Structure 1
């Protein structure tokens, strides 16, 4: 089976994408102003609670950006393939049309030449043997 070469421009579903819209992870130790109250420490054995936006990335936004990026890349390739396919189909159709036209034109030309030659021969024979009075 013939497989097309791998295109490095198309991301795999296993790649981790970070774009300008994905927030940077918060620093491990938050900076607390001196005048702010110190939050209570979490109970022993539990991890500190993080805001949901840091724990879970916005999968819907990531999916939408990835979909748009892949569609844009694929659309460019589809446009190129369509142009090649249309050119090939048109070339084949024009060749077939020319073959058909060539046969029809050859027949018309053959008939025209036969009529011209027959007329010329009868004209010359008329000069050589004038009709009897």
Structure 2
């Protein structure tokens, strides 16, 4: 059985949209006050619907942009941390390999030098 997702207090409900503007990362100007809905003509109802639609859409887009930006930042941080770790491990392995070869070569040269002095 499907359950509804948990309520997100950051997303305004319709009654909040009608009564007060929601504070967002980039505050938008407040919508003009709504007229008394008991005396609206059909054209005024259409205009009210259009204004409400635009206001809700604008607020949701602002919230979506903010959440998307945060998720991208979090994802990029994790990716960059992993990449830095892998790069560090590759450099460490390369350095250990190179230093090992240098030491082996130096030891071999020293042994060859000592053996040549004994003869």
TM-score bracket for the superposition, by shorter chain length: 0.5 to 0.7
- Distance in 2, matches of 1:4 and 1:63, equals 24
- Distance in 2, matches of 1:55 and 1:115, equals 87
Equivalent positions of 1:20-31 (< 5 A) are: none
1:46-72 CA deviation, whole Å, 9 max, x = no partner?
A: xxxxxxxx6624221111111111111
1:122 matches 2:98: no
Task: Give the TM-score of the pair, scaled to structure 2.
Answer: 0.64
Distance 1:81 1:62, change over 3 A: same
* Alpha-carbon RMSD: 3.5
Aligned partner of 1:84 in structure 2 is 70
Aligned partner of 1:43 in structure 2 is none
Aligned partner of 2:61 in structure 1 is 75
Unaligned runs of 5+ in 1: 26-53
Distance 1:103 1:131, change over 3 A: same
Unaligned runs of 5+ in 2: 20-30
Query: Going by fraction, where is helix more abundant, 1 or 2?
Result: 2
